[in-house]
Amino acid sequence: MKFFLDTANLDEIKAGAALGIVDGITTNPSLVAKEGKDFKTLVAQICEIIPGPVSAEVVSTTCDEMMKEARTLSKIAPNIIVKLPTIPEGVKALKICTAEGIKTNLTLIFQPLQALIVAKSGATFCSPFLGRLDDIGQDGMALIHDIRHIYDNYGFKTEILAASLRHPMHVVEAAKAGADVGTMPFSVFKMLLNHPLTDIGLEKFLADWKKLQA
């Protein structure tokens, strides 16, 4: 499973890149707004730091307007993925993007038929939001299992990008369910390698080694 960071914060992206295990970045209008910077400049900077896929979202709600944004965004860097909302106008724009060779990430997916439709329409990524389903008492992970099953039935190449991951167990479960990508906030990413027994074990190894030197 690939690891994407779900952030538009350059310090977090640089810290993740330094570790060498960040495969891509997802942003959304809320994450970009938090940074208070010019959108296109910020996205260009992110694309320079991370060579993998970088999702930048449109903010229009009609197909024509989305396509204007999509064409502009896709010219920022070769690794830009245009993020489109999974609404009828978004699917219309998706089909045009597919025909024009613009890579896409269909966002705000909350049920399997949305995922099936965007795969049929050539989406590069589909983004089911697990955490937000859990928030309203539904089983977010079941959606990943359903989408995996459907995509495997028909051999769709659209990558399942498990989004709205809130803690490391979401990442583990998404990997077990066969998600191609997990995107997570930096706070979750930082916890991926942690285990207290690793720290205790290393401390003991080094203390024993020190004794030998003495």
Residues with a catalytic annotation lie at 83
Question: For the residues of 189-200, what is the DSSP string, one character each?
Answer: HTTTT--HHHHH
> Least distance to ligand G3P from the beta carbon of 179, Å?
12
The closest of 186, 80, 86 to 129, measured between CA atoms, is 86
> Least distance to ligand G3P from the beta carbon of 143, Å?
13
Please, which residue, 129 or 156, has the CB nearer to ligand G3P?
A: 129
Question: For the residues of 120-160, what is the DSSP string, one character each?
Answer: HTT-SEEEEBHHHHHHTTS-HHHHHHHHHHHHHHHT--PEE
Please, which residue, 110 or 145, has the CB nearer to ligand G3P?
A: 110
Q: Are 36 and 3 in contact (CB under 8 A)?
A: no
Question: For the residues of 3-22, what is the DSSP string, one character each?
Answer: EEEE---HHHHHHHHHHT--
Please, which residue, 62 or 187, has the CB nearer to ligand G3P?
A: 187
Please, which residue, 26 or 121, has the CB nearer to ligand G3P?
A: 26
Q: What angle do CA 140, 20, 132 make, to 5 degrees?
A: 15
| N residues, the chain | 214
> Least distance to ligand G3P from the beta carbon of 6, Å?
4
The closest of 111, 126, 124, 21 to 79, measured between CA atoms, is 124
Q: What angle do CA 20, 25, 165 make, to 5 degrees?
A: 100
Point out which residues bind ligand G3P (CB under 6 A): 6, 26, 28, 129, 131-132, 163-164, 183
> Least distance to ligand G3P from the beta carbon of 170, Å?
10
